[in-house]
Structure 1
Amino acid sequence: MAELNCDVAVIGAGTAGRAAERSARRHGARTLLIDDGFAGTTCVRIGCMPSKLLIAAAEAAHAVRQAPIFGVETVPPRIDGRAVMARLRRERAAFLASDRESIESLPAGVALRGRARFAGPNRLALDDGRTVAAKAIVIATGSHSAVPENFASVADRVLTTETIFERGDLPGSLAVVGAGPIGLELAQAFARLGTDVMLFDKSGAIAGLKDRIVEADLRRILAREFPIVTGVDLTAERHGEAVRIAWHGEATGTRDFDHVLVAAGRPPNLAGLDLSAAGLKLDKHGVPVFDEATLQCGAAPIFIAGDANADRAVLHEASDEGTIAGRNAANFPRVRPGERGVPFQLTFTDPNVAVLGEVATEETPDVVIGTASYADQGRAKVMARNAGTVRFYAARQGGRLLGATMAGPGVEHMAHLVAWAIGDGRTAAELLDRPFYHPTFEEGLKSALRAICATSRTTVPSRDEARPSAA
């Protein structure tokens, strides 16, 4: 069979893989982008977009139920589950069509359909018998849903993000396993759409939050809509047409559900790559050991980006990593660290959650913390969305912002501004010296910033003190 030659071969045509191919080509490399299906990115097919379409429907139903608070009398919403899921798939199909156009617009000969495995550090073997010789290779194979073995006996009632959006209707009852961002988002969305939801997690915290104060407040807020049980192990068995879930640990109990949604993490897609043939050192999870700054795997001409490296599994990070990996692959052996933004993750629950930069505790040396509550914040009360807590972490000397954990109304927007401020090395006093329009959600941040100024012995700008209160 034929041997193909290129400068950079990229395995995987998701967000990271496409970014890597573009970056390598932009740096003068002859590229091949290898994928077994070119089915679309994880975000478009089973991640960001279908989940947000479901959340949008849930928010509409929730708004109807909230209307009487404002003196607007309504009848309880009637949820047409089939219509909800039909719109989700219809809009997703439009996103997928646009996604496919980006593949079709690649230069001739770049996209190569096939399943690849390593036959050496610079060589790939394809499932059709062809081989690829490359000066450098980028692994960007993404991740996949994983179902724990203890659900094997009820496999036909188990859903993942790869199957739940294919349903024709909403489930009547649902046990959601995994209280990370995906599990929380989908649990709340289905609950608001009328599904009887209960959320379970083996760890003791939700949303992966390290800040205990924000985590406790978020848990309290979300528990108004569906039960949350953490710190437990689960067993599952068939009970007629239902799944009987039993949990034990910090709590014990048993309950039947129509289905189980497993959202407890996505391991990297590395099986079948034959990494041993590449001579790569692997960590205890079987992931190649790599340099987080360059994305290079040891000293090999191999780079790994996106969900495949199990580091920062969010879309903008995958894009950044692909860009860095592609550039370094094109210039190998001259590799250099890439510029990375402030670590930034959002959870699209209501209230939104954001974790930015470094997370600290009251015991962290040389760090001060400013806290703001949205329970009594002016604009939040007007909108009947007065719930949540924001915590800023700053250097004790000078008040430079280091990070934040935010749960509150409008956080998905405010968090961008805070991330940019952290990246620019801004201080709490410098932010307070910027305009805060009244009345807005953004005003709610001021009390946390003022607390940092007071604790770090930084003077609060006089112009801020003259501005209206956030209340």
Structure 2
Amino acid sequence: MKQYDLIIIGGGAGGLTVASGAASLGAEVALIEKREDLGGDCLHFGCVPSKSLIEAANEIHHARSVSKYGVHASGEVDLKAINQRVKESISHLQEHDSIERFEELGIDVFIGGASFRNDHEVEIENHEEPLFGKRLVIATGSRPNVPPIEGLNETGYLTNETVFDLEQLPKKMVFIGGGPIGLEIAQAYARLGSEVTVLEAGPGVLGKEDQDIQQKAQEILERELTIITNANVEKTSRSGGQSYVHYSVNEEEHKIEADQIFLATGRKPNTDSLKLDQAGVEMNERGFVNVDETLRTNVGHIFAIGDVNGTPPFTHVAGYEGKTVVQNAVFGLSRKASYDLIPWNTYITPEVFHLGLTQKEAQEKHDGVLLYHTDLADVDRFVADHKTEGFIKIITDTKGHILGAHAIGKGAGDWMQVAILAVEKGMKIGELSSMIYPYPNHTAAIEKASNEYWRSKLFSGVVPSITEKYIKWFR
């Protein structure tokens, strides 16, 4: 039985971060992945393919919208060609996550499903000998959650794992769920030409966003697709070669046609086949692995990172956790992971950016909260681009410490990075105003919002009367 300093189960973003980091530090590392290729859900079914699809859909949408300049686009969308483009993007990035690259780092890569034999030994499908690990990391990710809706198996459904295999553009699509995954794909298909309806069980879409962001995003999206909130999906059915989704709103029953049904109803952890009970590792009622702040499970030498532990399901979070675990698993440290200021983007058009607390959360946790708001229509570059839809909202305590920053607008995920740096460096909002922003720049939205801080400080209260007296004396 071969022994390793570290065994990682799962070759996604988190697992690859741990494997490469630990190997670079001199640890003997084994990496186990059940799929034929490394890269995980993000590369094969999530971040990369969805953004490739979104970009293609936006290009087509823009081509159709330039008729006002005398240029006219015509023709039908070739979905097969678009999804071939998606696969090319995956293939290009796969080279970076190739098995050969990790083997060159000195990592032993095993392909096959893994399960625990005990708290130190792991068995691999189609491999005779189990592996022994001094420490182990569970990084098996998650998969689409399939709710127990009557008729789903008969009508069929799409998820983010199957939607990129379509070859013909559906005329009518119904999306069950109004979270980021569902909305990104829904808007893309609406822009490609499908008639799209989103059924959301809650009172609004993007439920984790600031309320003002939610309202603005829904307002914009409803120009391109139909959103029905407070919708309780009861069953799906087929009749006359057509699929239907049956739902109710306030106990009033409805039925809608669908050529394709897309499930965007959350994620489920990939823990079913790991036999965690044989290692003594505890999970919660939903199957997510319980971890402490150092990402250790209740079995001290076993860690869990990424989607499988129930923390925010983002690739950058898995990478962050991977870096933390390298320190804790290789050197025995107790570095803690913090999620208070994890940023994320939702890649609808226009993009949504989220950092820290929403206004409601901030007001619940802090006695005094100040808001700084700028409409993009007041920022010259957005005016020049004719992309003025959206706004920025910065939330601070009474001393100017940034509690949250939110935006919706063209490229918000890029130009709001300044806010992340400010929070990381402990800067107050007034310091953002002191920076020099090249003109004309989209980031000036942050400058204008932060300028409001000084306006409130310098041009109200007792300050103006004091400065007026000083100026008269100075003359």
2:382 aligned with 1:380: yes
Question: Whole-Å Cα distance in 2 between the matches of residues 214 and 394 of structure 1?
Answer: 17
1:445 maps to what in 2?
446
Question: Whole-Å Cα distance in 1 between the matches of residues 438 and 150 of structure 2?
Answer: 51
2:472 maps to what in 1?
none
1:329 maps to what in 2?
329
Distance 1:324 1:152, change over 3 A: farther
Q: Deviations over 1:400-454 (max 9, x none)?
A: 2221121112201112111111111112211111123333322233443234445
2:342 aligned with 1:343: yes
Question: Whole-Å Cα distance in 2 between the matches of residues 109 and 344 of structure 1?
Answer: 31
Match of 1:31 among 29, 32, 38: 29
Match of 1:17 among 10, 15, 18: 15
2:168 aligned with 1:166: no
* AA partner of residue 222 (structure 1): L
Distance 1:302 1:444, change over 3 A: same
2:177 maps to what in 1?
178
Question: Whole-Å Cα distance in 2 between the matches of residues 423 and 26 of structure 1?
Answer: 27
Check whether the contact 2:23–2:105 (CA below 8 A) recurs between aligned residues: no
Check whether the contact 1:237–1:244 (CA below 8 A) recurs between aligned residues: yes
SS in structure 2 opposite 1:343? coil
1:396 maps to what in 2?
398
2:61 maps to what in 1?
62
Q: How does 1:89-128 map to 2 (within 5 A)?
A: 89-100=87-98, 103=101, 105-107=103-105, 110-127=108-125, 128=127
SS in structure 1 opposite 2:268? coil
2:17 aligned with 1:43: no
1:255 Cα offset (Å): 1.0
SS in structure 2 opposite 1:120? coil
SS in structure 2 opposite 1:134? strand
2:354 maps to what in 1?
355
1:106 Cα offset (Å): 3.6
SS in structure 1 opposite 2:335? coil
Distance 1:336 1:324, change over 3 A: same
Check whether the contact 1:86–1:168 (CA below 8 A) recurs between aligned residues: no
Check whether the contact 2:33–2:111 (CA below 8 A) recurs between aligned residues: yes
1:75 Cα offset (Å): 3.7
Question: Whole-Å Cα distance in 1 between the matches of residues 409 and 458 of structure 2?
Answer: 26
2:148 maps to what in 1?
149
Q: Deviations over 1:340-373 (max 9, x none)?
A: 7930110111110011122233744222111222
Question: Whole-Å Cα distance in 1 between the matches of residues 107 and 424 of structure 2?
Answer: 40
* AA partner of residue 90 (structure 1): E
Question: Whole-Å Cα distance in 2 between the matches of residues 102 and 448 of structure 1?
Answer: 48
1:172 Cα offset (Å): 2.0
Question: Whole-Å Cα distance in 1 between the matches of residues 4 and 185 of structure 2?
Answer: 42
SS in structure 2 opposite 1:329? helix
Query: What is the count of residue pairs matched by the alignment?
Result: 455
Q: Deviations over 1:88-134 (max 9, x none)?
A: 22332233344325645444561122322112222222333422221
Distance 1:106 1:308, change over 3 A: farther
Report 1 or 2 for greater relative contact order, CA contacts < 8 Å, sequence distance ≥ 6.
Answer: 1
Distance 1:222 1:431, change over 3 A: same
Distance 1:439 1:201, change over 3 A: same
1:207 Cα offset (Å): 2.2
1:142 Cα offset (Å): 1.0
Identity within the alignment, %: 26
Consecutive unaligned residues of structure 2, counting only runs of 5 or more, are 465-475
2:142 aligned with 1:140: no
Check whether the contact 2:13–2:319 (CA below 8 A) recurs between aligned residues: yes
SS in structure 1 opposite 2:7? strand
1:203 maps to what in 2?
202
Check whether the contact 1:140–1:308 (CA below 8 A) recurs between aligned residues: yes
1:270 Cα offset (Å): 0.6
Check whether the contact 2:416–2:446 (CA below 8 A) recurs between aligned residues: no
1:466 maps to what in 2?
none
Question: Whole-Å Cα distance in 2 between the matches of residues 422 and 252 of structure 1?
Answer: 47
SS in structure 1 opposite 2:423? helix
Q: Deviations over 1:222-245 (max 9, x none)?
A: 110101112211121112222211
Match of 1:88 among 86, 108, 132: 86
1:4 Cα offset (Å): 2.1
CA RMSD of aligned residues (A): 2.5
SS in structure 1 opposite 2:416? helix
2:469 maps to what in 1?
none
Bigger CA drift: 431-440 or 230-239?
431-440
Check whether the contact 1:11–1:34 (CA below 8 A) recurs between aligned residues: yes
2:300 maps to what in 1?
300
Distance 1:156 1:107, change over 3 A: farther
Distance 1:212 1:153, change over 3 A: closer
1:141 Cα offset (Å): 0.5
Bigger CA drift: 227-236 or 346-355?
227-236
2:250 aligned with 1:255: no
1:246 maps to what in 2?
246
SS in structure 1 opposite 2:359? coil
Distance 1:418 1:258, change over 3 A: same
Question: Whole-Å Cα distance in 1 between the matches of residues 355 and 15 of structure 2?
Answer: 25
Distance 1:273 1:335, change over 3 A: same
* AA partner of residue 388 (structure 1): G
Distance 1:413 1:242, change over 3 A: same
Check whether the contact 2:99–2:109 (CA below 8 A) recurs between aligned residues: no
Check whether the contact 1:204–1:231 (CA below 8 A) recurs between aligned residues: yes
Consecutive unaligned residues of structure 1, counting only runs of 5 or more, are 463-471
Question: Whole-Å Cα distance in 2 between the matches of residues 339 and 202 of structure 1?
Answer: 30
1:418 maps to what in 2?
419
SS in structure 2 opposite 1:23? helix
Check whether the contact 1:13–1:38 (CA below 8 A) recurs between aligned residues: no
Q: TM-score, normalised by structure 1?
A: 0.89
Question: Whole-Å Cα distance in 2 between the matches of residues 223 and 81 of structure 1?
Answer: 23
* AA partner of residue 13 (structure 2): T
Distance 1:38 1:83, change over 3 A: closer
Bigger CA drift: 104-113 or 83-92?
104-113
